[in-house]
Amino acid sequence: MSTREEYIQMLKEARSRIPVLVTSGERFVPPRAVIAIEGRQTHIVNFKEIATALNRDPKMIARFLSKELGSPYFLTEGDRKLILSRRIDPKQVENRLDKFIKMYVICSHCGRPDTTIVKVKKAWILRCQACGAETPIPKL
């Protein structure tokens, strides 16, 4: 057997040992915010559902939205609803939520939402459970 044939045989054997990549075809679709404007306040009615779907602390999301939209906030009992203390266009709230998801939920390497936030020394890291990537993120 020539070296070329041995090489091809070794390649075939190596390829047979590689696991088959399984993709589920699923796509992460976070719930859209249900926004109600009451007087001078903006209410995100399904806030707890959003926080649960994103697998993030509701206070973290609320703090981000408060800073981005320039409005004080308070959470109702059980973090069910977020109330922003001024009237805000629902489109702006949607855009800021999308920005939060891109920065603090979606892995920048593989695009999966299977991430956790960990603190390493003084840095905040977005750790992907799917691909193992670690990306530094800004502190909130």
**pLDDT at position 21, please?**
56
- Collapsing DSSP to helix, strand or coil, 129 comes out as coil
How many distinct structural domains can be found in the chain?
2
Q: What is the CATH number of the domain that holds 68?
A: 3.30.70.3150
Asked if 52 and 71 sit in the same domain, the reply is yes
**pLDDT at position 132, please?**
86
Asked if 101 and 112 sit in the same domain, the reply is no
Residues contacting 81, CB < 8 A, separation 6+: 43, 44, 45, 47, 48, 75
pLDDT, tens digit only, all 140 positions of the chain: 678 889 889 888 988 887 765 555 457 788 899 999 999 999 999 999 999 999 999 999 999 999 999 999 999 888 889 999 999 999 999 999 999 999 999 998 888 888 999 998 889 999 998 888 899 999 88
- Parent domain of 123: 107-140
Helices (H) and strands (E) in the chain, counts: 4, 7
Domain assignment present for residue 129? The answer is: yes
